[in-house]
Amino acid sequence: EAQVTQNPRYLITVTGKKLTVTCSQNMNHEYMSWYRQDPGLGLRQIYYSMNVEVTDKGDVPEGYKVSRKEKRNFPLILESPSPNQTSLYFCASSLIGGRAFFGQGTRLTVV
Amino acid sequence: AQTVTQSQPEMSVQEAETVTLSCTYDTSESDYYLFWYKQPPSRQMILVIRQEAYKQQNATENRFSVNFQKAAKSFSLKISDSQLGDAAMYFCAYRRPPMYSGGGADGLTFGKGTHLIIQP
């Protein structure tokens, strides 16, 4: 089954404690991206990757890192999380120009 | 930068009636894609319908159809025969054509969403 898998689905952490949210897709898609969803703001792109070792900033990259060492994986790293990063996060993948497939979302709370 | 505006934070409709959700966008490009996504309480992002700007014919998927007005930069979603399962957040989204060289964002720009309530 074609899918994008994010882990964990829920995470509560403390300020400053490094965390990684994993994202994996099984469709051999070149393009992968991360979005955050906040009430009243819709979804905003954090980072994206056009292919292995090719990443770039989206609209709200501050406080986040990503890497793309393998085509199927695109982890989101928060080196020092802060409460303003409490949000719902989505990973998405697609062929270049194709339909986007979304993961199930990760609800992150930073206290 | 492209912007997408959904002017209706919340809409309510009686079951079996028709409802239209509005979306406008701003772009200087002539070729692009537009989407409507549905997000039920499960939080899953579900693609409802997709429109390519170079196609003049409005997209249709069963009870869902769009009214695409390119000159007015308007992309409304019509839901006919509303059902209880249609209750959700609906997001309008814009995407530029992909740029195969020199990088460039193939990402989606979303509106802030419309919360659709279905009254039984």
Q: Is the dihedral of CA B69, B70, B71, B73 positive or negative?
A: positive
Instruction: Record the tokens describing residue B99, joined without a space.
Output: 């740029």
pLDDT in tens, B66-97: 999 999 999 999 999 999 999 999 999 998 77
**Burial class of A49 by CB neighbour count within 10 A (0 to 12, 13 to 18, 19+):** buried
pLDDT in tens, A4-47: 999 999 999 999 999 999 999 999 999 999 999 999 999 999 99
Report the chain A residue with the minimal C-alpha distance to residue B98: A97
SS3 content of chain A, % helix, strand, coil (to 5): 5, 50, 45
What are the residues whose beta carbons fall under 8 Å from the beta carbon of A108, sequence distance 6 or more? A11, A12, A13, A19, A21, A81, A85, A86, A87, A88, A89
pLDDT value at B105 more than 60: no
Q: How far, in Å, CA of A86 to CA of A12, rounded?
A: 9
pLDDT bin (cut points 50, 70, 90) of residue B100 is very low
Q: Which residues pair with A48 in a beta bridge?
A: A33, A56
pLDDT of residue A4: 97
pLDDT of residue B103: 44
Chain A interface mutation, best of B21, B33, B43, B96, highest count of A Cβ atoms under 10 Å: B43
Least confident of A34-38, A99-103, B17-21, B29-33: B29-33
pLDDT in tens, A55-83: 999 999 999 999 999 999 999 999 999 99
Residue predicted with more confidence, B108 or B40 = B40
Q: Which residues of A fall below an 8 Å CB-CB distance to B?
A: 31, 33, 35, 40-45, 48, 50, 54, 56, 58, 88, 90, 92, 94, 96-97, 99-100, 102, 104-105, 107
Which residue in A73, A75, A53, A54 sits closest to A65, CA to CA? A75
Chain A residues in contact with B110 by the CB 8 A cut-off are: 35, 42-44
Least Cα separation, residue B113 to chain A (angstroms) = 6
Q: How far, in Å, CA of A46 to CA of A57, rounded?
A: 6
Q: How far, in Å, CA of A85 to CA of A63, rounded?
A: 8
Q: How far, in Å, CA of B87 to CA of B43, rounded?
A: 12
